[in-house]
Amino acid sequence: MYIHNLKTYDVENTGTRGASVSVWFNFCEKHCPGCWNEDTWQRDTSLYIDNDEVVSTVLSALSDDFLPIGTLALLGGDPISPKNIKDCLYLVKKVKEARPDIEIICWTGFIWKQVYRSKILSPILAYLDILIDGRFLIERKVKGKHYGSDNQKIIDVQKSLKQEEIVEMALD
């Protein structure tokens, strides 16, 4: 997989369970003006890391007894871009198999409806707990939130799947 950055202890990009292991995927086709992480947009082949190596690093960090971590955070770029979805799905499956107690949160430029209706993207939903959806819109930028602009939603994925409608939640 193409990994821009992997942080084994992160207190900024978290869900509801405290600190996270954060994985920034390389590549995003959205190119939102004002994006805080535009250096992840273009595919950089030098950032390739074997999928099993990434899984091993993530699982090792999630098992650290001295730094308890409850969340895997997926960022980017866009973790579920069609160019990243296969690798991202591999990662989340392996993490949930080994650690079903770990919360998985994902930031994406796609909106819920696009992910939910896509044969390529929708399989990821079975493994996610929280999805922060939607493109960043600079004219609607907010500060101090888990999202960049107020059009983005924080979605409880499993409740939304059960209820067959979007169930929003608060992280702040």
The string of pLDDT tens digits covering residues 108-163 is 999 999 999 999 999 999 999 999 999 888 888 888 767 788 889 999 999 999 99
Q: Which two tokens stand for residue 74?
A: 């997926």
| pLDDT value at residue 172 | 63
Residue 104, strand partner residues:
72
- pLDDT tier for residue 35 given thresholds of 50, 70 and 90: confident
Given a cut of 80, whether residue 52 has pLDDT beyond it is yes
Residue type, 92: V
| pLDDT value at residue 32 | 82
Interval 78-101 mean pLDDT: 97
Nearest alpha carbon to residue 18 among 74, 66, 71, 63: 71
At 43 the three-state DSSP class reads: coil
Nearest alpha carbon to residue 133 among 160, 158, 115: 115
| pLDDT value at residue 59 | 96
Alpha-helical runs (H) found in the chain: 51-62, 85-98, 112-117, 157-163
Query: CB neighbours (10 Å) of residue 154?
Result: 19
Query: Exposed, middle or buried by CB within 10 Å (0-12, 13-18, 19+), for 36?
Result: exposed
| pLDDT value at residue 106 | 97
Domain ranges of the chain: 3-163
HSE, CB side, 13 Å, CA atoms: give it for residue 8: 14
**What mean pLDDT is reported for the chain?**
92
